[in-house]
Amino acid sequence: MGNHRHRLPGLRVRRALGLLSLAAASVPAFAADCPTGQFRAHDGPDTASALEIAPNGRFRYVLSEGAVDEGAEGKWICDQGVLKLTTLPTPKPAEFRLDKVSDSKDADFALIVTGPDGRSIAAVDFRLEMPQGEPVTGYTQDDGWSRDLGNTRPVSVQVAEPFFGTVSPVFPLPQRKGIKIHIVLIPNDIGVAAFKDTPVTQEDDRLVLHWRGRAIPYRLATED
């Protein structure tokens, strides 16, 4: 739904170690044709990521890129030379909840998305379905979003945060003028990558993590 950048407030990434501690030099070992060791991403200047594959069958991962900070730890298996990562414990995904519909005194229609602490969240994409014609789409600002829609009343709203892929249900809306929609983003384990047999392949001297439609290359970490 959008590619604008805005770091979500209050994200709590549960990770066991930071990028610096992953950067220590290591010599790769092999377990059933899969390499172990500590690896750093080589995917452009805006991507800082590290992946540790421990010989005891555990892994740790961290990534910082633009508005995204995420991490994970869990177990790995080796399947015909392909590492498969599974996050443990399984993270609980973030969710959107419709908090309330109140009267809007300043606009014909208003939408605000906040965290549980009441602080508004910008850069949340939304889609308003109209009774006829094309939907109205956009994204929230620091103070939400509002507009005079004339005599047309949206029949539903759906929101999504574009960084971790959290999408709300479709919320039906009351058919009256002057309403303010308050939606709350419940973070749960947002920022914890939900790997489930997520593959890491070997290509020449690199490991390649296949995640969210991307192929992120890693090379063995060396001492700075």
pLDDT of amino acid 8: 53
Q: What is the mean pLDDT of residues 100-105?
A: 91
User: Which of 61, 77, 53, 78 lies closest to 17 in space, CA to CA?
Assistant: 61
- pLDDT: which is higher, 149 or 138: 138
Return the pLDDT at 185: 97
pLDDT of residue 29: 52
Q: Which domain holds residue 25?
A: 19-92+191-220
What is the reported pTM? 0.78
Q: What is the mean pLDDT of residues 29-58?
A: 86
Asked whether residue 125 is assigned to any structural domain, the reply reads: yes
Residue 63: which of 202, 172, 163 has the closest Cα? 163
Pair 100, 181 in one domain? yes
Query: Which tokens hold the place of 218?
Result: 């890693």
Q: Do 196 and 151 lie in a common domain?
A: no
pLDDT at 191 exceeding the cut of 80: yes
Residue 121 · residue 97 · CB < 8 Å: no
Which CATH number goes with the domain that contains 116? 2.60.40
pLDDT digits (tens, 9 = 90+) for 119-134: 999 999 999 999 999 9
Question: What mean pLDDT do residues 86-94 have?
Answer: 97
In the chain, the number of structural domains is 2
| Same-domain check for residues 157 and 131 | yes
**How does strand 156-161 pair with strand 125-129?**
antiparallel
In this structure, the answer to whether residues 26 and 62 fall within a common structural domain is yes
pLDDT the model gives residue 223: 45
Contact status, residue 171 vs residue 156, Cβ threshold 8 Å: yes
- Which of 166, 153, 142 is CA-nearest to residue 101? 153
Look up the CATH number of the domain holding residue 199.
Answer: 2.40.128.500
Q: Higher-confidence residue: 150 or 187?
A: 187
Residues 100, 40, single domain; the answer is no
Q: How many CB atoms lie within 10 A of CB 148?
A: 8
* Buried-exposed string 190-219: b where 16+ CB fall within 10 A, e elsewhere: bbbbbbeebebeeeeebbbbebeeeebbbe
The predicted pLDDT at position 32 comes to 57
How do 109-114 and 179-186 pair as beta strands? parallel
pLDDT, greater one: 162 or 82: 82
User: How far apart (Å, rounded) are the C-alpha atoms in residues 189 and 16?
Assistant: 15
pLDDT number for residue 93: 95
Percent of the chain with pLDDT over 90: 69
Cis peptide before 169 (omega within 30 of 0): no
Please give the average per-residue pLDDT across 55-73, as a whole number.
92
23 and 133, same domain (yes or no): no
pLDDT, the chain, mean: 86
Mean pLDDT of 153-174: 94
Tell whether 164 and 102 lie within a shared domain: yes
Q: When comparing pLDDT for 26 and 97, which is higher?
A: 97
Averaged pLDDT for residues 186-208: 95
CA distances from 87 to 16, 73, 130, 137, 195 (A): 13, 6, 40, 34, 5
Is residue 1 one of the residues assigned to a domain?
no
Whether 105 and 174 share a structural domain = yes
Domain assignment present for residue 12? The answer is no
pLDDT of residue 1: 43
